[in-house]
Structure 1
Amino acid sequence: MASSSSPEEEQYVTEVTDNYETTCWGCGLHILLPSCASVFKCGWCGAITNEKKPKREDKCVRWRLLRDRCFLSIVVTFMLFVIFGGVWALYPIILSFNLLCGVFHSMIIAILSIATISFFSLSAFRCAGTPPNILWGSYPTVGKGDLENYTFCRYCSKPKSPRAHHCRSCGKCILDMDHHCPFIGNCVGAANHRNFIFFLISAVSSTIYVSIMAAYASSYIWPPLKYSFGRLNGASQKYLAWRVLSELVVTFLGSVLLLSSRGLVLVYLFISSVSLQIGLIVLLWQQLSYIYQGKTYLSNLSSAADNEEEKKDCQNLVRFFGFHYPATRFLPTINVTQKRHVK
């Protein structure tokens, strides 16, 4: 019989005999699969298993945590320096004009400082959002479709939902992960994404206020500029503009050396706040554009590779910030009743 069988029949017999039995990691059911199937989806719980994917160990988690702690310490130190250094440098100048003006600016500084530090603390020290702990591995415990499209994280040895991503810096899976920010020493995920956006808004407002007030206060304590344009009489028209510009720069830098310690702090606050607010505004605009598109940073990268189009709508922003009702709900309504004609 073996000699009279065709090659197609022999190949079919070989495939059947190479089937093997495996176990779903989600519900524990036994599944019979062909040898060529390394990735399979359970028909009961919906979990996806990759047999050829080995368990991974990340040995650099401690170094990444140390890096994040260093960045976090630098950011906290800079924030405290801006707050206390700005108060020390600005208030003698502001209070010299009007007491009411000083009280008004004190309230603004207190509000911006408390808001920035509060949202920064919630973003940095709050868990970014881990997937729910689902009991798995037993058929009676896991119901039908409970682990639909769940995969098995080889780092955490836990179920990972389709919306979760494993962060190698934090060493755990994060739900709706946007990115890992080393400056807050934490991931930006489902639990702290809104706080991170509020932190960016308060930080941008604070840096704009600091730059305006530093420039305003510097204009009163800046030493008088002494120009010497007498050397420009023999300059040709071709190099006249360059000579004027170089003379202005030299005069300005020479006056910086005559500034007091308060003036030097104000100059540093102005330069640092302007440069910082440019980067924060770009980051805030990028974050809001992703939220408007209904995406995160990581999902935008994956959808760019898959060429998937998401629905762009302002309702994405409304849902993100927690406004579940339209603005017209809070406006007064006028009920117009129609008169009925009685015959």
Structure 2
Amino acid sequence: MGEQQQQEPLLEVEQCVTSIPEDHEATCWGCGLRLVFSSYSPVYKCGWCGAVTQSNQTSRKPDTVCFSHWRRFRDGFFVTVLVLFMLFVICGGVWAVYPVVFSISIFCGIFHCTVAALLSIFTIASYCLASFRSAGTPAGIRWGSYPMVGKNYLENYTFCTYCSKPKPPRAHHCRSCKTCVVDMDHHCPFIGNCVGASNHRAFVIFLISVVTSCSYAAIMTIYASYHIWPPLVFPNVSSYGQMGSKKVLMEIITSVASSAFFLSARGIILVYLAFASLSVNAGIAVLLCQQLSLIYEGNTYLSHISSPTDIHGERGSRNLVRFFGCPYPLSRLLLGYTNTGKLQDNSGSKLL
């Protein structure tokens, strides 16, 4: 009886080890090896090549013709609006501002014309780089067969169901550009292109140049508007001491509004350019701050949206230095300064 009781558990163990359901078997798309799992999992990673597979992944149908045309029309519309606005600011600013600037002195006019030309060239050049440069298409890689794929050759690669090709880590498929983009940040309709590993720096430099140019345009248009604005008339100026603050404010607004009817065409263009430059500057400045904060964190916008709590890289100023490609002396100075600050913070925390 004692021997039979000892053999029964052994038989149960053998059955648990050898009985594996067929539903828990799968084939890796990266190397083609057959994988066996002890329990069902919708996502699994190959132990040989490192490719990540979803058990329900199937090739997806391409987008419809209407959807593709709509994306193309949307990008073309936004690109046209942005290009026309930049040309209007440049041409309208030169026509409206610089007669006032040249009336001060010839040197002042030549100086501001040079500044405007440099800002315009820099802004248009950075826009062209961000718009026409490839965002970063993944390089071709061998996959699908065990003899071709080596150990950890496809580490953390996933399979793009739109392209039916391997997709490297931190890459996303853009349905507007119809391709996968490495380190994709987002698809910007204003440049008609994705923002990825190859043109991300050009896009951020374009934002910086837009903020600088709009700030300069706003200052110059406000200055020129002040010089050509019709004289203000305050009929009740002698009784302002007896009036309340609200009535005084309404009197000033009424006087400014009435004098605005006598503005020339140049004055109307100046007022519009001032408001347009300030509003565009505010919006682009917010986008620029968001981009710089994500670069500082070593993250992209899409990765931040998909997993806001995950840390994809090390935070620090070294990400900004590496992103902009600063020269070695400047990068050494900046990184040395930040490391000194960190050491001081750590020493202070230890003392506390």
Please classify the TM superposition score into its range, dividing by the shorter chain length: 0.7 to 0.9
Offset of 1:132 from its aligned partner? 1.4
- Matching residue of 2:44: 40
Aligned counterparts of 1:293 and 1:17: Cα–Cα separation in 2:
45
- Alignment root-mean-square deviation, CA: 2.8
Q: CA deviation at 1:205?
A: 0.8
For 2:30 and 2:313, locate their aligned partners in 1 and report how far apart those are by CA, in whole Å: 30
CA contact (8 A) 2:24 2:40 kept: no
For residues 225-244 of structure 1, what are the alpha-carbon distances to aligned partners after superposition, in whole Å with 9 as ceiling and x for unaligned?
A: 111216957x976xx11111
2: CA distance, partners of 1:236 / 1:96: 41
Q: Which amino acid aligns with 1:206?
A: S
SS state at 1:93 partner? helix
Give TM-score, length-normalised by structure 1. 0.85
Q: 2:280 is matched with which residue? A: 276
Q: Distance in 2 between matches of 1:277 and 1:71?
A: 17
| Residue type at the aligned position of 2:187 | H
1:292 maps to what in 2?
A: 296
Q: 1:128, 1:188 within 8 Å by CA — same for their partners in 2?
A: yes
Q: Given that residues 211 and 270 in structure 1 are in contact (C-alpha distance below 8 angstroms), is that contact kept between their aligned partners in structure 2?
A: yes
- Which TM-score applies when normalising by structure 2? 0.83
From 125, 130, 141, the equivalent of 1:134 is: 141
* Matches of 2:176 and 2:200, distance apart in 1: 17
Cα offset for 1:323?
Answer: 2.4
Match of residue 111 from structure 2: 104
Equivalent residue for 1:254, pick from 237, 258, 276: 258
- Whether 2:165 is the aligned partner of 1:158: answer yes
Query: What's the CA shift for 1:87?
Result: 0.8
Q: Which of 296-305 and 261-270 deviates more?
A: 296-305
Describe the SS at the equivalent of 1:304. coil
Partners of 2:302 and 2:175 lie apart in 1 by 14
User: Which residue of the other structure, out of 47, 59, 64, is the alignment partner of 1:55?
Assistant: 59
Q: CA deviation at 1:305?
A: 3.8
Given that 1:61 and 1:171 are in contact with CA atoms closer than 8 Å, whether structure 2 keeps it comes out as no
Residues 159, 218 of structure 1: alpha-carbon distance in 2 compared, 3 angstrom cutoff: same
* Aligned-pair CA distance for 1:53: 2.3
Aligned amino acid, residue 224 of structure 2: A
Amino acid at match of 2:60: R
User: How big is the shift at 1:21?
Assistant: 5.5
- Find the partner of 2:324 among 317, 321, 335: 321
The equivalent residue for 2:233 is: 226
CA distance in 2, matches of 1:118, 1:175: 23
Q: 1:161 to 1:244 in 2, by over 3 A?
A: same
Amino acid of the structure 2 residue aligned with 1:220? H
Higher percent of residues as helix: 2
Inter-CA distance 119–148: structure 2 relative to 1 (3 Å threshold): same
C-alpha distance in 2, partners of 1:274/1:316?
A: 30
- Please report how far the alpha carbon of residue 30 of structure 1 lies from its aligned counterpart in structure 2 after TM superposition: 3.5
Contact 1:293 1:311 survives alignment (8 Å): yes
Q: 1:312 is matched by which residue type in structure 2? A: R
1:224–1:159 distance in 2 versus 1, CA, 3 Å: same
* One-letter amino acid of the counterpart of residue 83, structure 1: I
Residues 91-118 of structure 1: CA deviation (Å, up to 9, x unaligned)? 2222222222221111111100000001
Count the aligned residue pairs. 322
Deviation at 1:140, TM superposition (A): 2.6
Question: Are the equivalent residues in 2 in contact too, given 1:19–1:32 (CA < 8 A)?
Answer: no
- The 1:300–1:256 alpha-carbon spacing in structure 2 relative to 1, beyond 3 Å, is same
Match of 2:28 among 18, 24, 27: 24
Kindly provide the CA deviation profile for residues 238-296 of structure 1, in whole angstroms up to 9, marking residues without a partner as x.
xx111111111111111111111111100000000011111111111111111111112
Counterpart Cα distance in 2 of 1:314 and 1:20: 46
Once the two structures are superposed, residues 147-189 of structure 1 have per-residue CA deviations (whole angstroms, 9 ceiling, x without a partner) of 1111101111111111101223322211111122222222211
Name stretches of at least 5 consecutive residues in structure 2 with no aligned partner: 1-7, 334-352
* Cα distance in 2 between the residues matched to 1:309 and 1:17: 37
Cα pair distance change 1:96/1:231, threshold 3 Å: closer
Question: Contact 2:298/2:312 (CA < 8 Å) preserved in 1?
Answer: no
Alpha carbons of structure 1 residues 45 and 324: separation in structure 2 relative to 1, 3 Å: farther
Decide whether the 8 Å contact of 1:214 with 1:270 is kept in 2. yes
Identity in percent: 54
CA change 1:164–1:107 in 2 (3 A) is same
> 1:141–1:18: structure 2 CA closer, same or farther, 3 Å change rule?
closer
Amino acid at match of 1:321: F
Unaligned runs of 5+ in 1: 331-343
Question: Among 195, 202, 205, which residue is 1:195 paired with?
Answer: 202
